Amino acid sequence: MNCSAHESPVSYVELTHPHTTPTPVLVEVPHSGLQVPPEVESEIQSTPLAVLRDSDIYVDQLYQHAPQTGATLLVARVSRYVVDLNRGPDDVDSAAVPRHPRGRRIPARGVVWRARTDGTPLLRAPLSVEQFSRRLELFYHPYHRALRDAAAQIHQEQGRVLILAAHSMPSSGRRTVGGGKVRRADVVPGTRGRSTADGRIIDLIDSHFRQAGLSVKHDDPYRGGWTTSSYGTPKRGQHAVQIELNRALYVDERTSEIKKDDFAQLRVVLEQLVEKLGTLMTSSGQFATG
């Protein structure tokens, strides 16, 4: 394999710069990728349908117009069956990597999953430390270098940056009421108790979705993952919000097919949100600049 210790022969990171006057908004989409690279294909047992259903399906397409509003867009093309880009690099499941010195038993999933979300085994066999490290070097670190560098450049040029971590979630959770699953809110902004972004940003997001007729519930069931908690330091002019969209808004969850009209409407709502946030971040002189 002719690549350095830090690069795959193929790039699985797609960075799109603003198509108009830049704003401080950076939209990152870590979980919509569907590719299982040949370097790790033999380590994983799955199907294309499973990869699709465990992705944040079509979220990259929902935000594809963000650069037209002045935002920067970062998309991962690798499946989270390879690495989970919203986990820390030291979030190591000892069942997946038994000999890793930082491994611990993780009830859900670490940076490398041992099972799919339905519990079906994902790894053909536990990984060696070398196999685990290779995944991070080839597919995890390149994405986070791109995210870190893009955020740093925006902050340097504009004095502030807002990272929107764009995700989607199943329409219902595991809790039951009378034997049935509980439907989740349409939108779940995650800010870890309003700690990762300025309150004006959070309030704008809340009001925008409500005005669009969508239900909103903050931090439940998702408070914001590793990226949000790592980058969200408002006092330094670094703001981060994780936005989870209910998949039933735009996808038939039984078939994974797009609901065309609903999808188009939601994409407009998201484009308008990114534009509003760009205006807020650009026009207000009161945000901390670090």
Average pLDDT, the chain: 92
Q: Is residue 255 part of a domain?
A: yes
Does residue 235 lie in a domain region? yes
200 occurs within a structural domain: yes
**Domain assignment of residue 41, yes or no:** yes
Q: Is residue 59 part of a domain?
A: yes
- Among 33-42, 97-106, 108-117, 175-184, the minimum mean pLDDT is found in 175-184
* 44, part of any domain: yes
Separation of alpha carbons 191 and 170, rounded Å: 19
Q: Does position 223 have pLDDT exceeding 80, yes or no?
A: yes
DSSP secondary structure letter of residue 102: T
5 pLDDT exceeds 60?
no
Query: For residue 192, what pLDDT band results from cuts at 50, 70 and 90?
Result: very high
**pLDDT grade for 162, boundaries at 50, 70 and 90:** very high
Say how far apart CA 150 and CA 73 lie, in whole Å: 9
Residue 48 lies in a domain: yes
Copy the structure tokens of residue 147: 């995210």
Torsion angle defined by CA atoms of residues 261, 280, 187 and 47, in that order, rounded to the nearest 10 degrees: 70
What Cα–Cα distance (Å) separates residue 110 from each residue in 32, 194, 235, 258?
Answer: 18, 25, 29, 29
**What percentage of the chain has pLDDT greater than the value 90?**
82
The predicted pLDDT at position 182 comes to 86
- Say whether pLDDT at 178 is over 60: no
Is residue 120 within 8 A of residue 61, CB to CB? The reply is no
Task: Provide CB contacts within 8 A for 83, sequence distance 6+.
Answer: 111, 112, 135, 136, 139, 140
**176 in helix, strand or coil?**
strand
70-79, 130-139, 180-189, range with the lowest pLDDT: 180-189
Q: How many domains does the chain have?
A: 1
Q: Are 256 and 57 in contact (CB under 8 A)?
A: yes
Is residue 108 assigned to a domain? no
Burial (CB count within 10 angstroms: exposed 0-12, middle 13-18, buried 19+), residue 241: buried
| Parallel, antiparallel or unpaired: strands 238-246 and 161-169 | parallel
How many degrees, rounded to 5, is the angle at CA 205 between CA 73 and CA 231?
A: 55
DSSP state of 119: S
CATH of the domain at 17: 3.40.630.40
Contacts of 263 (CB under 8 A, 6+ apart): 58, 61, 62, 250, 251
Residue 121 pairs in a beta bridge with 115
Give me the domain span that covers residue 236: 13-80+145-283
Work out the angle at residue 121's Cα, subtended by the Cα atoms of residues 220 and 84, and round it to the nearest 5 degrees: 50
Q: What is the value of pTM for the model shown?
A: 0.92
Rounded percentage of the chain residues whose pLDDT exceeds 70: 90
pLDDT score for 10: 62
Give CA–CA dist 17/33, Å, rounded. 19
